[in-house]
Amino acid sequence: MNPWKKQTRYESEITKFISELKQQNPKLEEGQREGRALLWDKEPIDLDQRRRADESKVNQQAYVYQSH
């Protein structure tokens, strides 16, 4: 008998829950990908446009509520 060979395959309750959830809702992962793309996947930054925006920025006072 090989001591390194797995005899049983352990599956946690969380893994079972996620597997069942995916079986009940097969489009779940697709929806997650769409949400990720909406919130995190951004277009590349145009460096020239970014430079021009930084150059045209007006500096703010140290204390914004001071009026004079």
pLDDT of residue 13: 95
| pLDDT value of residue 3 | 61
> Tens-of-pLDDT digits for all 68 residues of the chain?
566 666 678 999 999 999 999 999 999 999 999 999 988 888 888 999 999 999 999 887 777 777 66
End-to-end Cα spacing for the chain: 85
Question: Could you tell me the CA-to-CA distances from 63 to 14, 46, 54, 66 in Å, in that order?
Answer: 51, 32, 21, 6
